[in-house]
Amino acid sequence: MASILHIDSSPRGERSKSRQLAKEFITAWQDRHPDDAIAYRDLRQTPVPHVTEDWIAAYFTPPEALTPEMAELLKFSDELVDEFLAADRCVFSVPMYNFSIPSNFKAYIDHIVRVNRTFSDENGQFKGFANGKKVLFITSRGVEFGSGSPYEGWDAQEPALRYPFQFMGVTDIQFIHANGLDLGDDARKRGLNEARSKIQALVGSW
């Protein structure tokens, strides 16, 4: 039995295509693996606070020197880290906002990239602790970024997602992009159908 962490980040609720696609993946996965445990978090319903100066001060304070107030500031972050590390697989649905990611998912990343929790720093040598974990990002995008597109090279979303998790030691990182959703009915249908085909293929091999 595996443990799956499923996080939605779109603020659009049921109208969100990234949420819909992630739900389709999870439903198909549960059909094949009914004994797997699914932990779910909705960043729309439970927002992750952005880091503050006081939070940063607590972050860089050794555990034995934390005041009760500092420990309280890190409590939610500790919960997110524990949840992330406990999962064998992670499914994150993340829409593209202005060629990158929503601020709520950036805040989530900022709370789980934690020294001595998800990575170590020994004299400038970094080592991630999330080895062996699989991470899937399901995204929705208004335009297309392939060769010949007016926006070729503008994709700042995938690097913003890939590198923090790679830094934490994740080597199995996959993306399913639903592209061209704002380019008319035909492009939207094509983008969703391609994403759904990839979902069905990955469910059988992940």
Residue 31: per-residue pLDDT: 97
SS3 of 17-33: the string is HHHHHHHHHHHHHHHHC
Q: Which helix (H) or strand (E) segment is 47 a member of? A: none
Which pLDDT belongs to residue 127? 97
Q: Note the pLDDT of residue 75.
A: 98
CATH number of 3-203: 3.40.50.360
Instruction: Determine the pLDDT at residue 151.
Output: 96
Angle (deg, nearest 10), helices 68-86 and 103-112 = 100
pLDDT given at position 90:
98
Whole-angstrom Cα distance, residue 60 to residue 114?
10
Query: What's the pLDDT at 66?
Result: 96
Domain ranges of the chain: 3-203
pLDDT at site 77: 98
What is the number of other CB atoms lying within 10 angstroms of the CB of residue 93? 28
Rounded Cα distance, 51 and 59, in Å:
10
Q: Do 28 and 200 contact (CB within 8 A), yes or no?
A: yes
Please, what is the Cα angle at 179 between 161 and 15, to 5 degrees? Answer: 85
d(CA 55, CA 20): 34
Q: What is the pLDDT along the chain (206 residues), one digit of tens a residue?
A: 899 999 999 999 889 999 999 999 999 999 999 999 999 999 999 999 999 999 999 999 999 999 999 999 999 999 999 999 999 999 999 999 999 999 999 999 999 999 999 999 999 999 999 999 999 999 999 999 989 999 999 999 999 999 999 999 999 999 999 999 999 999 999 999 999 999 999 999 99
